[in-house]
């Protein structure tokens, strides 16, 4: 009897203390999470600030979507000067079509741009776990942006549970949040989202290594399809572009076929510069195998701008002819 009551007191003591500890953790989680939320959206520089600007504030006429290749290949100022429209580059390093979809949804929820450009990598639609893991960059927007929650929840099927924690969306961001609350990055206003790359390729024989065992990601294919549909439904001219590469990507066949199939199904201009001899194999135009340097980006953007201009002119003439 005595042993039982001792054990039962021991258990009671344990559960009471455990409950108090959990309450303390929950309280700290809420308080620190709320503080991080305020600080996160107050950042004045860095990639998170650029993402917030793209998702919540830009009202540029031309929107560029994509990953690092989008971010480092399209110079908004050149597009602006050639097309007479404002431009903003929402591309982000390390991201995928899933991230672009979220940014696009957030933008279309706020206003209607005049042109959208989706920069796509030839192997973009191949499954990689990083495409999903890196959606963690969008976690801070989960509460404020219901329109992109479905994209964020693609990260894993336990995200809803993890998002009970107020700190979790800011996981691994503490140093940057502190840094960019103290100082400013000069890239935003000067370049409208575009971050130039400097330097030239050192190893002129650099090649992409095949991964082997690649498979098409049906979710990414559907995402591209939905992105195109939404833009066309909004009546916005859309261009799907593969920007230049120094040397060809490996493992692209299935992804490339899927991109072609989807763009053809929607009758959307699909411009492939991946093998363009004006760029491919020219080390002075690239900072590495996948990314143009600033010099290369300016040449490329000018080409794209001219082509978009010609295409828009053709559409205008076609519309005038139709109406007549």
Partner 1 sequence: MLFNSLHFVFFFPIVVALYFATPGRFRWMLLLFASYYFYMSWKAEYLLLIIASTLIDYVAGLQMGKTPDKNKRKKYLWLSLASNLGMLFGFKYFNFFNESVRHVFDYFNIFYNVPAFNVLLPVGISFYTFQTMSYSIDVYRGAREPEKHLGIFALYVSFFPQLVAGPIERSSRLLPQFRKEQTFDYDRVTSGMKTMVWGYFKKLVIADRLALFVNVVYNNPGHYSGINLLVATIFFAFQIYCDFSGYSDIAIGTARIMGYDLMENFRRPYFSRSIQEFWSRWHISLSTWFRDYLYIPLGGNRTVKWRYYYNLLVVFLVSGLWHGADWTFVIWGALHGLYLVAGLATLELRRRVKAALFKQNTFIPRLVATSATFSLVLFSWVFFRANSTSDAFLIVSKIAALQGPLDVEEPAIFLLSLMSIATLVLIELQQEFPFVRFSPFSHHNVLVRHISYALIVIIILLIGVFDAGQFIYFQF
Of 170 and 286, nearer to partner 1 (C-beta) is 170
Of 130 and 319, nearer to partner 1 (C-beta) is 130
In whole angstroms, what is the distance from residue 135 CA to residue 266 CA?
Answer: 27
Task: Find the shortest distance in angstroms from Cβ 26 to partner 1.
Answer: 9
In whole angstroms, what is the distance from residue 163 CA to residue 155 CA?
Answer: 12
264 burial via Cβ count (<10 Å: 0-12, 13-18, 19+):
exposed
Task: Find the shortest distance in angstroms from Cβ 154 to partner 1.
Answer: 13
DSSP H or E run through 117: strand 115-119
In whole angstroms, what is the distance from residue 237 CA to residue 222 CA?
Answer: 20
Task: Find the shortest distance in angstroms from Cβ 127 to partner 1.
Answer: 16
Of 38 and 234, nearer to partner 1 (C-beta) is 38
Of 17 and 314, nearer to partner 1 (C-beta) is 17
Task: Find the shortest distance in angstroms from Cβ 248 to partner 1.
Answer: 18
Task: Find the shortest distance in angstroms from Cβ 269 to partner 1.
Answer: 34
Residues that bind partner 1 (CB under 8 A): 3, 7, 10-11, 13-14, 17, 20-21, 24-25, 28-29, 32, 133, 136, 156, 158, 161-162, 165, 167-168, 170-176, 179
Over the range 288-313, which residues count as b (16 or more CB within 10 Å of their CB) and which as e? Answer: bbbbbbbbbbbbbbebbbeebeeeee
Task: Find the shortest distance in angstroms from Cβ 81 to partner 1.
Answer: 32
By residue count, the chain amounts to 324
Of 200 and 236, nearer to partner 1 (C-beta) is 200
**CB distance 71 to 292 below 8 Å:** no
Query: Helix axis angle, 76-83 relative to 294-323, nearest 10°?
Result: 30
CB atoms within 10 A of CB 280: 16
Of 81 and 171, nearer to partner 1 (C-beta) is 171
Of 28 and 234, nearer to partner 1 (C-beta) is 28
Residue (of 246, 238, 242) closest to 278 by Cα position: 246
Q: From residue 248, how far is each of 119, 208, 273 by CA, in Å?
A: 16, 7, 11
Task: Find the shortest distance in angstroms from Cβ 133 to partner 1.
Answer: 4
Task: Find the shortest distance in angstroms from Cβ 210 to partner 1.
Answer: 14
**CB distance 100 to 65 below 8 Å:** yes
Of 11 and 42, nearer to partner 1 (C-beta) is 11
Provide φ and ψ at 28, rounded to 5°.
-65, -40
């Amino acid at each position: 009897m005595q042993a039982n009551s001792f054990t039962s007191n021991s258990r009671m003591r344990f559960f009471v203390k455990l409950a108090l500890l959990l309450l303390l953790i929950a309280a700290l989680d809420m308080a620190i999470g709320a503080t991080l939320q305020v600080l996160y959206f107050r950042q004045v520089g860095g990639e998170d600030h650029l993402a917030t600007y793209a998702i919540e504030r830009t009202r540029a006429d031309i929107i560029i979507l994509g990953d690092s290749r989008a971010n480092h290949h399209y110079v908004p100022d050149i597009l602006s000067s050639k097309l007479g429209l404002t431009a903003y580059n929402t591309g982000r390093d390390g991201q995928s079509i899933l991230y672009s979809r979220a940014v696009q949804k957030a933008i279309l929820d706020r206003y209607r741009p005049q042109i959208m450009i989706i920069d796509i990598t030839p192997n973009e639609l191949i499954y990689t776990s990083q495409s999903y893991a890196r959606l963690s960059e969008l976690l801070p927007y989960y509460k404020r942006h219901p329109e992109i929650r479905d994209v964020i929840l693609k990260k894993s099927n336990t995200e809803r549970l993890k998002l009970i924690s107020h700190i979790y969306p800011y996981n691994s961001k503490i140093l940057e949040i502190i840094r960019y609350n103290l100082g400013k990055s000069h890239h935003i206003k000067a370049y409208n989202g575009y971050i130039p790359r400097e330097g030239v390729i050192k190893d002129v024989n650099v090649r992409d290594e095949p991964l082997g065992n690649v498979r098409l990601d049906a979710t990414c294919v559907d995402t591209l399809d939905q992105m195109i549909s939404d833009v066309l439904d909004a009546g916005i001219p859309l261009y799907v572009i593969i920007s230049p590469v120094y040397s060809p990507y490996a493992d692209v066949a299935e992804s490339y076929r899927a991109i072609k199939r989807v763009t053809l199904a929607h009758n959307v201009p699909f411009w492939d510069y991946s093998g363009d001899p004006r760029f491919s194999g020219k080390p002075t135009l690239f900072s590495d195998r996948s990314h143009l340097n600033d010099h290369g980006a300016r040449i490329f953007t000018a080409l794209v701008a001219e082509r978009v201009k010609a295409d828009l002119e053709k559409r205008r003439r076609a519309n005038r002819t139709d109406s007549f």
